[in-house]
Amino acid sequence: MFKRKNIPVMLLFLISIFLFALGYGKAYIRRDTFKNGIELRSAVLDVDCSTGTSNSMIVINHNNGNHIVNMSYRSCATLKIEDTVNIKFSPKHEWYFYEFDGRDESSAEDVIGSALFFGAVLIYWIWISFRTKGG
């Protein structure tokens, strides 16, 4: 039967499912873009390298508009305004990826981390269920 004290655990469970789906979706779009995307060469209009928790990024011009390309700090630190870079573009998803940023590992870490969070919440939920039934 449904108990009020299980609401926080259920919310954590739903959040973990959402995070897993989000991480998997990002990884899927990235793989699809590198497999089927369009390769572009574009000049860098702006560079914003961040060593903190936010992403580093560059700004490029494509289809008469400025677009942000997220990348690792390591890749960003090597670029300057007016450098020419290779970009992969997904017209289907309208996402841009820097080819050599080494972020495939980041996408995999998102999926693995959210799956571990999901597993931990599931184990905790099962443990709470057995504890309340047995005691």
Q: What is the pLDDT along the chain (135 residues), one digit of tens a residue?
A: 456 777 787 888 888 888 888 878 888 888 888 888 899 999 999 999 987 656 789 999 998 899 999 888 888 888 999 999 999 999 888 889 887 655 555 566 677 777 788 888 888 878 877 777 754
pLDDT at site 23: 79
Domain annotation covers residue 44: yes
Q: What is the CATH number of the domain that holds 16?
A: 2.40.50.140
Domain tally for the chain? Answer: 1
Alpha helices in the chain (DSSP H): 7-36, 73-76, 104-134
Residue 78: give the domain boundaries: 8-134
Domain annotation covers residue 2: no
pLDDT at site 103: 54
**Strands 84-90 vs 65-71: parallel, antiparallel or unpaired:** unpaired
